[in-house]
């Protein structure tokens, strides 16, 4: 899964606006490098990021979703927590939803339940402790693996209760979302516990600050660490890796799977 952030700071047109064609170019590049899924998001959920309104988010993502869907043979994922953005994105042709708030926003469960009838749209439920603006301020857990697992289990139950079949659900422990480096390492080490649920697991480790801390490196110098983390996650059963560096990750995974499936 290649990351496509549609925010003015990622695809500036030189001013305060973003350029749709620059975003599309990036999507074409990632597809060419072997991305099976492109995750399109119009709201930054990085630590400290400010929220944006639904109108602005729609203005950013809808034109890009339409074009990617028309031009590329990839699965289009909409990265949002807002029910109105989910619905508009799915109507515009998105194939799946990636929600860092695990459908906790009022109305989100209902929108995803609606898309049961029309077609079975997959949804990724991610764990987050707190809110992006403040989540890295001293997160505390007694047993991070058990607590994240229990939370996701509760969200799966809420989905099933709302009419969203378990077969549609992808689980994600949410690396870096309200977690210290020790929490992130424990979650990666024990990632197989999430795979054992039978639901596919998505892992987002690419360039994240846990790697930065271990390597003492800024985001642009975290590629080799990201590749190691991607292979470790795959080995523990992750089925989808959300990454910035598609070609490098695909190559690392080719080696991993050649060994995994060798006799």
The residues binding ligand YH5 (CB under 6 A) are 45-46, 98, 100, 124, 126, 172, 174-176, 202, 204, 207-209, 219, 242
Give the CA count within 13 Å in the CB-facing half-sphere of 250.
14
Catalytic annotation, pick one of 82, 149, 222, 242: 242
Give the shortest CB-258-to-ligand YH5 separation in angstroms: 26
Catalytic annotation on 67?
no
**Closer residue to ligand YH5, CB minimum distance, 14 or 235:** 235
In angstroms, the CA 224 to CA 228 distance is: 6
Catalytic annotation, pick one of 82, 168, 208, 222: 208
Give the shortest CB-88-to-ligand YH5 separation in angstroms: 19
Catalytic annotation on 236?
no
Which residues fall within 8 angstroms of residue 115, CB to CB, at 6 or more apart? 90, 121
**Closer residue to ligand YH5, CB minimum distance, 46 or 255:** 46
Strand partners for 243: 2
The conformation of residue 167, written as its DSSP 8-state character, comes to: G
**Closer residue to ligand YH5, CB minimum distance, 129 or 242:** 242
**In degrees rounded to 5, what are phi and psi of residue 126?**
-110, 145
Give the shortest CB-116-to-ligand YH5 separation in angstroms: 21
**Closer residue to ligand YH5, CB minimum distance, 122 or 204:** 204
Which residues fall within 8 angstroms of residue 78, CB to CB, at 6 or more apart? 40, 41, 61, 65, 85, 86, 89, 90, 94, 96, 97, 98
Instruction: Reduce the DSSP state of residue 4 to 3 states and report it.
Output: strand
Residue-by-residue DSSP string for 109-145: HHHHHHHHHH----EEEE--SS-TTTTTS----SSHH
Give the shortest CB-30-to-ligand YH5 separation in angstroms: 14
Could you list the active site residues?
Answer: 208, 242
């Amino acid at each position: 899964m290649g990351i496509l952030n549609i925010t003015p700071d990622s695809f500036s047109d030189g001013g305060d606006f973003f350029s749709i064609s620059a975003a599309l170019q990036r999507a074409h590049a990632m597809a060419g490098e072997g991305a099976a899924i492109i995750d399109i998001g119009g709201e930054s959920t990085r630590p400290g990021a400010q929220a944006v309104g639904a109108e602005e988010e729609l203005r950013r993502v809808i034109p890009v979703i339409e074009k990617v869907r028309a031009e590329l043979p990839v699965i289009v994922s909409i990265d949002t927590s807002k029910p109105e953005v989910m619905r508009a994105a799915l109507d515009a042709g998105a194939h799946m939803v990636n929600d860092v708030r695990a459908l906790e926003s009022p109305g989100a469960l209902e929108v995803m339940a609606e898309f049961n009838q029309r077609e079975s749209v997959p949804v990724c439920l991610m764990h987050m402790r707190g809110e992006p603006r403040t989540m890295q301020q001293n997160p505390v857990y007694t047993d991070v693996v058990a607590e994240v697992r229990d939370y996701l289990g509760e969200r799966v139950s809420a989905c099933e209760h709302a009419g969203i079949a378990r077969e549609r659900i992808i689980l994600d422990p949410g690396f870096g979302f309200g977690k210290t480096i020790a929490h992130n390492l424990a979650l990666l080490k024990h990632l197989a516990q999430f795979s054992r649920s039978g639901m596919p697991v998505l892992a987002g480790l690419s360039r994240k600050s846990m790697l930065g801390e271990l390597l003492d490196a800024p985001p642009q110098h975290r590629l080799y660490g990201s590749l190691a983390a991607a292979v470790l996650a795959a080995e523990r059963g992750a089925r989808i890796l959300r990454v910035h560096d598609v070609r490098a990750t695909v190559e690392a995974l080719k080696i991993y799977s050649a060994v995994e499936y060798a006799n």
